[in-house]
């Protein structure tokens, strides 16, 4: 599972067998979320992260969106 970034105690990563649309997974102390990067940054699901943690995760995805998408294409195209 390639890790893209660790910040705020959250790990942003891809699984090795990902699928479209482009998205990232987040793990924060065993709590999980999935955030789509295309067509825009949006929450797909949240399993236990607090509202404030989700906001930080979404804000981080907005900031790093282009970098995360570039990494997706390097690994899955």
Share of the chain above pLDDT 70, in %: 100
Q: What does the alpha-carbon distance between residue 56 and residue 17 come to, in Å, rounded to a whole number?
A: 26
Structural domain of 35: 3-76
pLDDT digits over 9-32, tens only? 999 999 988 889 999 999 999 999
What is the reported pLDDT for 18? Answer: 84
3-7/10-13 β-pairing: antiparallel
Provide the pLDDT confidence category of residue 77 given band limits of 50, 70 and 90.
confident
How many folded domains does the chain comprise? 1
**DSSP labels for the chain?**
--EEEEETTEEEE--TT--SSPEEEEEETTEEEEEE-SSS-EEEEEES--HHHHHHHHHHHHHHHHHHHHHHHHHH-
């Amino acid at each position: 599972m390639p890790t893209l970034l660790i910040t705020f105690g959250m790990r942003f990563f891809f699984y090795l067998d990902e699928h479209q649309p482009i998205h990232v997974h987040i793990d924060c102390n065993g709590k999980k979320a999935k955030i789509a990067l295309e067509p825009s940054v949006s929450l797909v699901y949240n399993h236990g992260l607090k509202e404030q943690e989700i906001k930080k995760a979404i804000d981080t995805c907005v900031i790093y969106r282009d970098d995360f998408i570039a990494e997706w294409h390097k690994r899955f195209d």
